[in-house]
Amino acid sequence: YEDIRTIQPFVPFGALVPGFPGESLQKPQTINISETHTFSPNLLNQAWVSFVRLNFAAPTFTRRDKLSSFGFSYPSTAAAYETIPAIYISGLSPLGNPQGPGIRITNTYEFRDDVSYVHGRHDMKMGADFRNTRYNIAFGSNVNGQFNFTGQFTGNSLADFLLGLPSTFNQSTLASGHLHGWTYEWYFQDRFRLLSNLTLNFGVRHTMATAFAANSNELFGAFRPGMQSTMRTDAPTGWMLSTTPM
């Protein structure tokens, strides 16, 4: 278990003046339970059950303001992260932070079992591993809006800013995703003592990973020319969701 939090006075793409810090987070947690059982002198079984959780957040701005307190009449698309908008004035340092939040929580559930068996001249091992991985993601960009002042109207970017004449304004919503997938693995190997001075080692291993699926119709999983998604009729022709029957 670790909990690493870092306060950054300046974050990527954000303000180059003090007052707009961000916090990054790394919080891995691991639980592992194992059991080793000896059935006989030549038969041994080892089993593991584990859970791994990684809570990762890219530098997320920590300042909180109300847009209305600065005279803005539009709402934030992520109320929990409301602060002043990102303001870019050509030739000057930007204000605010356009990126964030960037949060990813990964949960992995795993069961693994290995068997060791010695019989005559054979030293055999076999086992299987099953893992379920789940991603919970939240990402925002310009959830509080972004103003760009380039001097388009007065010929001077600062004058445009003082007059409240941005060349462009954009705002995005907070996007979230909930993905999950399985990985299946098994193997068999044998160490065969053919002669006193000759040993053969051979085995086989197979790994299969399923495509990630989403909890809702939010993930495009394949391209099928000419087909129209029946799950999202507004999707472009050929774009299939991971939950669309093929």
Q: What is the pLDDT of residues 79-126, one digit of tens each?
A: 888 888 999 999 998 888 887 788 889 999 999 999 999 999 999 999
Residue 242's pLDDT band, with cuts at 50, 70 and 90, is low
Distance separating alpha carbons of residues 182 and 71, to the nearest angstrom: 49
229 and 240 in contact (C-beta within 8 Å)?
Answer: yes
pTM for the model stands at 0.73
What region, left, alpha or beta, does residue 196 occupy, with left being phi > 0 and alpha being psi -120 to 50 degrees? alpha
pLDDT > 70 in the chain, percent:
94
**pLDDT in the model for residue 107:** 96
Please report, as a single letter, which amino acid is at residue 3: D
Cα 136 to Cα 66, 106, 139, distances in angstroms: 28, 6, 10
Amino acid letter, residue 154: T
Query: Beta 146-149 vs 86-89: how paired, if at all?
Result: parallel
The reported pLDDT for the residue numbered 210 is 87
Cβ pair 55, 24 in contact under 8 A: no
Per-residue confidence band for 235, with pLDDT thresholds at 50, 70 and 90: confident
DSSP string computed for 42-76:
TEEEEEEEEEEEEEEEEEEE-----GGGGT--SPP
Interatomic CA distance for residues 38 and 181, integer angstroms: 33
Classify residue 37 by burial, with Cβ atoms within 10 Å: 0-12, 13-18, 19+.
exposed
Question: For position 217, what pLDDT does the model report?
Answer: 59
Written as six digits, the tokens of 34 are: 């194992």
- Alpha-carbon gap, residue 226 to 161, rounded angstroms: 48
pLDDT > 70? residue 32:
yes
Give the C-alpha separation, 59 to 146, whole Å: 18
Q: What is the pLDDT of residue 96?
A: 86
Mean pLDDT of 226-240: 77
Distances (CA, A) of 217 to 180, 244, 245: 13, 9, 12
User: CB under 8 Å to 58, separation ≥6 — which residues?
Assistant: 24, 99, 100, 101, 102, 103
Tell me which range, 64-73, 183-192, 222-231, is most confidently predicted by mean pLDDT.
Answer: 183-192
131-135, 175-179, 208-212 — most confident range: 131-135
pLDDT at 239: 74
| Token couple for 161 | 């800013």
**Residue 182 or 176, more confident:** 182
Query: Residue 220: what pLDDT?
Result: 57
- The amino acid at residue 158 is L
Q: What pLDDT band is residue 138 in, cutting at 50, 70 and 90?
A: confident
Mean pLDDT, rounded, of the chain: 87
